[in-house]
Amino acid sequence: MVKYDDEGSLLRPLRALSFLTKPAITEPLVPRPAAEGYRGFHLNEHQRCVGCSSCQKICDNAAITMIEVSELANDKLNGIRNLRPAIDYGRCCWCALCVDICPTGSLSLSKEYVHTCTQEDIDSYFMMPGEVGMHGTFVGKGWQKSETSDLLDLQRKPMGERPAAQRIDSFDEIVNGFSAQQAEAEASRCVQCGMCHDACPTGMDAPEYIRSIFEGELEQAVRWIYQTNPFSHVCGRVCTHRCEDACSIGVRGTPLAIRWLKRYAMDHVSHQRVLQITQEQKPSHLSARKIAVVGAGPAGLTAAWDLSRMGHQVVVFEARKNPGGMPRYGIPEYRLPYEMLDRDIEVITAMGVEIRCGVEIGSEITVDQLHQEYDAVVLAIGLHLGRSTRIPGSDHEHVKKAVDLLRQVTDEGSIEVPQEVVVIGGGNVAMDIARTVARMQKQQWGEVRTVVTALEDQENFLADPEEVREAAEEGVLICPSRGPQACVIENGQLQSLKTWGVCSIFDESGRFAPHFDENDEQCHAAGMVIEAIGQMADSEILLGDEITERLEWNRGRLQIDENCRTSESWLWAAGDCVNGPDVVHAVADGHRVASSIDEVLKHA
């Protein structure tokens, strides 16, 4: 007997005939509910998404394209791009890696899985997901980022520092720096989105050097760093790190420690090797063009470094006995060891830049003479003059400017301080001088009795939060929302600083117009009052009356164009003296100046 269900039977196909007389069964076209965590079409919350492109980079099938959405915010300085992912469902395999990598958590998969189109409408498989699904009808979220599927490490590796009790009586560096293990672990958190690159004033290739650190290729990391920043040791310690503010990891967690990673790479490649690496950029041919730079700070020396790499001859004139500008004469060594600053400067001079220290422009040689002897002149003179509150008694001999005292400490190593000191100001300079004075008090008097008064409440201090925290740890008393009214003088002796409580700092139109509560009065005992409310440049004396009158000014600062060029075609200005105090912005100015001068000289 033949068994029709035997595998391989020749008669088996005849079984299909038995279905001819049976009624058809049709399933309904309505989609059935999908399971929890189903991987359907994508959803994206556009207001949470920052356009970082991490989803695009991780997609192995090249199914994601970033599309510009003009009506969305495009604020790269704060880590927001007006780009949003669009999905090609002819390529997507629904692996959900894009969801698991998304730094903001805006991307997810829905429970929607049915989509039909005609042959003429084949492009409908390419779509930009929104919050309501493929067809504008929200059917519920499916696969979402969870603790077990999140591919990101949201917490930065802690940076060790010396305890306050150990650091208060010396100027040894506070921060320990990363170990190799810590640096590799911190670098592994990077998703290579490039938001840091967009936000950096110098356009630094941070993702590239971070990847090199992760791979253990520190010399390659140094090469990436020196593509854009000759002040690498300095910025590895005191950069204002706008890049970290823009880091996409910081949306849900703490941003990468980009500044500390730069420091790690620089500290772990020998200085001699750094010099050899940077010499790879030295030009093979020199031009006959000569450029004079006034001021050996970050802006001036960066411009000089760039111009030297372009083949031009550069001479830098510096009034003080050592180069370095405000980083040397305005930042204490516990934040920036000057040995590290000297390493950066040696890299610049090794490129062929000549620095002449102790030369005062305006007295020994004039700017007009520089104009006659050089093809271009750059002013990068920093902000070495302190501003005064002009309150009653502020002209007393024991009322000092913060920048003057910081410069004195650099030059002399120490200053005499009284037992009680009050600092006016809430910025980084105020914290720097307060912590410097606290160390001097500890050495000279055995205790810290330094007070900082500021207009702002503590949550809105202009100083970096870690500066305020470390100052308090070192015994500095922080008094927020206090407005200085007078330096109290009795029998010719400074006794105290009188302050009133601050009701508001700005008026309804946003102008600076502090309003005080006269009934909330305090007197802070002081043998010295230090004003740290801002700095200014001494450019008018340096330039001379004739040139000063020809130049255009903006509230006491030189007016420049987008390339840092003044109204005099031969004169450029850059750095703190035109943009305010910030090392990395000064470096960026130096790049712009060099590029502008080189372009002008090429066509001269």
CA-atom Rg of the chain in angstroms: 32
* Residue 8 within a domain: no
The contacts of residue 428 (CB under 8 Å, 6+ apart) are 462, 463, 464, 467
Dist. CA 319–CA 321, nearest whole Å? 7
pLDDT at site 27: 65
Whether 396 and 373 map to the same domain: the answer is no
Amino acid residing at 444: Q
pLDDT digits (tens, 9 = 90+) for 278-312: 999 999 888 999 999 999 999 999 999 999 999 99
* Residue 16 within a domain: no
Dist. CA 437–CA 404, nearest whole Å? 13
Whether 352 and 466 map to the same domain: the answer is no
Whether 108 and 242 map to the same domain: the answer is no
- The series of mean pLDDT values per 10 residues for the chain, 604 residues long, is 54 70 71 88 96 97 96 94 95 96 97 78 82 85 93 95 94 96 97 96 96 98 96 96 96 97 98 96 92 97 97 96 95 96 98 96 90 96 90 97 96 94 96 98 97 94 93 97 97 97 93 95 97 84 77 80 92 88 94 96 86
Helix residue ranges per DSSP H, 134-280? 164-167, 180-187, 195-199, 206-214, 218-225, 232-238, 242-246, 258-267, 271-278
Whether 390 and 524 map to the same domain: the answer is yes
Whether 259 and 130 map to the same domain: the answer is no
Whether 309 and 377 map to the same domain: the answer is yes
Whether 572 and 493 map to the same domain: the answer is no
pLDDT at site 122: 65
The CATH number for 114's domain is 3.30.70.3270
* Residue 6 within a domain: no
DSSP label at residue 300: H
The CATH number for 300's domain is 3.50.50.60
Phi and psi at 228, nearest 5°, equal -130, -10
Residue whose pair of structure tokens reads 């090199």 in the numeric block: 212
Using the 3D structure, point to which of 498, 518, 535 is the last residue of a domain.
535
pLDDT at site 74: 95
Dist. CA 138–CA 161, nearest whole Å? 51
Amino acid residing at 275: L
Whether 395 and 511 map to the same domain: the answer is yes
DSSP label at residue 160: P
Q: Within 13 Å and on the Cβ side, how many CA atoms surround 208?
A: 14
Whether 298 and 376 map to the same domain: the answer is yes
* Residue 249 within a domain: yes
| Assessment of whether the complete model's pTM goes beyond 0.85 | yes
* Residue 365 within a domain: yes
Whether 408 and 472 map to the same domain: the answer is yes
* Residue 5 within a domain: no
Domain hosting residue 193, numbered range? 164-278
Residue whose pair of structure tokens reads 């405000």 in the numeric block: 326
* Residue 156 within a domain: no
Whether 268 and 343 map to the same domain: the answer is no
Using the 3D structure, point to which of 278, 310, 340 is the last residue of a domain.
278
Helix axis angle, 583-602 to 298-309, nearest 10°: 40
- Count: domains in the chain: 4
Dist. CA 543–CA 292, nearest whole Å? 14
Whether 74 and 123 map to the same domain: the answer is yes
Using the 3D structure, point to which of 213, 245, 278 is the last residue of a domain.
278
pLDDT at site 210: 98
**Residue 256: C-alpha distances to residues 100, 198, 249, 468, 577 (Å):** 19, 15, 7, 21, 31
* Residue 352 within a domain: yes
